A = this chain, B = another copy of it.
Amino acid sequence: MAKLEGKVLVAQGGGPTAVINQSVAGVVLEAREFPQVTHVYGALHGVNGIINENFVDLTVVATSNLEAMANTPSSGLLSTRDKPDEKYCAKIFEVCKKHNIHYFFYCGGNDSADTCNIVNKQAEKVGYDLRVIHVPKTIDNDLQVTDHCPGYGSAAKFVAQAFAGANLDNRAIPGVYIGVVMGRHAGFLTAASALGRKYEDDGPHLIYLPERPLTLEKFGNDVKAVYEKYGRCVVAVSEGVENEKGESIAAQFTKGEVDSHGNVQLSGTGALGDMLAEYIKENTEIKRVRADTLGYLQRSFLGCVSRTDQEEARAVGEKAVYYALRDNVDGSVSIKRTGDYAVSYTLTPLTEVAGLTKKMPDAYINEAGNDVTDAFLRYARPLAGVLPEFQLLDAPKVDTSAQK
């Protein structure tokens, strides 16, 4: 048990998810139980809220409000894209010392893990006693070590339901439908579009991931082949798809806008989908081609949550507190799959997660590089959880030649 008396600080960084507030609720509700914790502070807008001393007192927040916030999508403590450097970290310690903060929990992706790692190293360097725990979240599902990331399951559910519906729509009024899905480097979320397939000819019929290069020629030929077979075609494309030189195809449309982590803007524009649709219109005989970019709904849509994801997001927050306040250690909370489907939680050194990206394993991608495998479906199904039921009409065709 960490005996160091002081304050707990919790914050959220990076892109929001549907369940990131579950993790904060987990941290706050558990931390408030420990006698050495004098206060639980929340920093607003991530590390930015620390250096600006923009704190709220979570010690006195009603449990009912925390529980209601836990069920609310997007970061309740607000977020940031700031990436602390040495100077930024020096300011963080100054503020932590002033407020007697000795336990820091940061919910975020690999950029936030990187922040945790830098802060942790700085703390060691100057001899300030600070437990730092990275609480994982990301809809991209691209963190190292952990089997999967809280936030992914709910986003996967949204994408699956979106494509299941788009596929039914495409049946009704045939043509080519292209849906662009979030995911900077890893295709996990785009791959989730396959989870809504039920009937043999259900789309998406083609799935393009950042893990495999995409040429317009291959894309056009694939679409033509599907269209010839089914008279229609549903395509899922990751916003992170790259050409054969490893260059982002979407980035050319966003004028190279980058955030402080050096990430080029990919989302918030329909340009990639529009370009792909235009290519099909100009290079095939197919007339009806439509492109949607699923956009920010994937991570924030109100009311689309995987129950498993919800529970795990809560658990990683709770576990984070036990690691810091009982075991007095730093690290990143990871999820280990221990059954079908069951998980346990472990602690991973920050250096093994910080700034690193996991890609889809080869076993999850088909040979042609335009679909997922059954292994991926088995991996992802329990994470997205139960999808709403749908059923096609099962009616016999009328033999009109036999009609009187």
Contacts and interface: CB of A to CB of B under 8 A. Distances in A.
Interface stretch (A77-85, A209-217, A220-228, A349-357): A77-85
Contacts of A388: 302-303
Interface residues of A, number: 81
A143 to B, nearest CB: 20
Interface in A249-295: 267-271, 273-274, 277, 289-295
A123 interface: no
A404 B7 CA distance: 13
A200 interface: no
A173 B16 contact: yes
A125 interface: no
Given A168-B16, A268-B289, A389 B296 contact: no
Interface stretch (A68-76, A184-192, A306-314, A327-335): A68-76
Stoichiometry, copies per complex: 2
Given A162-B297, A270-B274, A296-B177, A393 B76 contact: yes
A165 B74 contact: yes
Contacts of A162: 297, 301-302
B393 A15 contact: no
Nearest to A401: B53
B395 A57 contact: yes
A56 interface: yes
A113 to B, nearest CB: 18
Contacts of A81: 173
A1 interface: no
A209 to B, nearest CB: 21
A288 to B, nearest CB: 9
Contact of A297 (B297, B302, B403): B297
A266 to B, nearest CB: 11
A311 to B, nearest CB: 18
Contact of A60 (B66, B297, B396): B396
A268 B289 CA distance: 8
A161 B71 CA distance: 14
Interface of A: 12, 15-16, 41-42, 53, 55-58, 60-62, 65-66, 68-69, 71-81, 98-100, 161-162, 164-166, 168-169, 171-173, 177, 196, 267-271, 273-274, 277, 289-297, 299-304, 387-398, 400, 403-404
10 contacts: A42-B393, A57-B397, A66-B393, A68-B389, A68-B390, A71-B391, A72-B389, A270-B273, A270-B274, A292-B295
